[in-house]
Amino acid sequence: MIVTTSWYLVLGALLFIIGGVGLLVRRNPLIMLMCVELMLNGINLSFVAFSTALGDIGGQTVVFFVLVVAAAEVVVGLGLIVAILRRAPGSTADDLSVLKG
Amino acid sequence: MVDTIVFLVAAAICLTGAVGVILARNPVHSALMLVMTLFGIAVQFVSQEAHFLAAVQVIVYAGAIVVLFLFVIMLLGVDTAQNLEIGILPAQKWAALCFGVGSLALTGYIIMAVDNPVTGRTGLSGAIDDTANVRLLARSLFSNYVYAFELTSLLLVIAVIGAVVLARKPAKELPDEAGR
């Protein structure tokens, strides 16, 4: 058996699906951010698979930018979570519906 | 043959970690499972000869982002076991089920329907040849994508400032903190 591009794409799709289901199921904001990371990693794997298959470095460049954006997103997201949980300890994502004003 | 074994072992590690992230009741366990997935992805990157990205994956993701998660978990003291069912909306459970089953069905259909997902047409931005991976990536990053690269530095500065502003205690609460 030879590892083809499809194998990597399927693995990336599975990671994306698991992350998406976790995002919908879990209520802890920290775990939800981790699920977003899972989804981003699934996409990164697909980008690198296409980059290798097509012989084009552009896919890997995009993954580099995705890494930077993921890092920035986690920093701001965790800052928000710290600010919220300091005010209302133990709150879940559902409790934040009070923000609707 | 070796490629297949490496792929299967790394894929099993990735999927085990991913399922562990959403099933672990303790957030610390979720973070450690996330590290497992990220290492599996790094192995997949190496087997596809994306060496720079594999190194960055380990350093940035496993080294920085997950450590940040663990810091926040410890800072907030939420490292206790949680009931997975608390406060879940009934509609959301069905939405998750529909999303999961639908996406899996779509993936399966695409595997069955599409013989070869790659057209074989190479892109215009930079061909992968015998040059070292880091050199290729750097050439692409600092020529075609230099504008986007500069913008990412701006993004990181904004993120740092935003995090500092968000995480700082409001000025009027400071006397209470000092009195404790």
For B82-121, write each residue's pLDDT tens digit.
655 555 667 777 888 888 899 888 888 887 877 766 666 6
Q: What are the CA-CA distances from residue B8 to residues A43, A44, B75, B111, B125 (Å)?
A: 19, 18, 37, 18, 31
Residue with token string 């997950």? B66
Per-residue model confidence (pLDDT) at position B119? 67
- Mean pLDDT, chain B, whole residue set: 83
The tally of domains found in chain A comes to 1
**Distance between CA atoms of residues A10 and A67, nearest Å:** 21
Per-residue model confidence (pLDDT) at position B151? 94
Q: At what angle do helices B2-23 and A29-54 cross, to 10 degrees?
A: 160
Radius of gyration of chain A (CA): 17
Percentage of the residues of chain B whose pLDDT score is greater than 70: 80
**A48 touches B: beta carbon within 8 Å:** yes
Q: Has the ipTM of the complex gone over 0.95? A: no
**A53 touches B: beta carbon within 8 Å:** yes
According to DSSP, residue B12 is labeled H
Residue A48 belongs to a domain with what CATH number? 1.10.287.3510
Per-residue model confidence (pLDDT) at position B180? 45
Average pLDDT, stretch A38-67?
A: 90
| Yes or no, beta carbons of A26 and B84 under 8 Å apart | yes
Residue A32 · residue B112 · CB < 8 Å = no
Domain boundaries, position A38: 5-100
Q: What are the CA-CA distances from residue B59 to residues A74, B28, B39, B66 (Å)?
A: 15, 19, 10, 10
Lowest pLDDT segment from A53-57, A80-84, B13-17, B76-80? B76-80
**A18 touches B: beta carbon within 8 Å:** yes
| Yes or no, beta carbons of B22 and A45 under 8 Å apart | no
C-alpha closest to that of B69 among B30, B39, B16, B108: B30
Domains by residue range for chain B, with CATH: 1-81 (1.20.120.1200), 133-180 (no CATH)
| CA atoms lying within 13 Å on the CB side of residue B174 | 5
Lowest pLDDT segment from A44-48, B67-71, B117-121? B117-121
Taking the model in full, what pTM does it have?
0.86
Average pLDDT, stretch B40-63?
A: 91
Alpha-carbon gap: A15 to the closest alpha carbon of chain B (Å) = 7
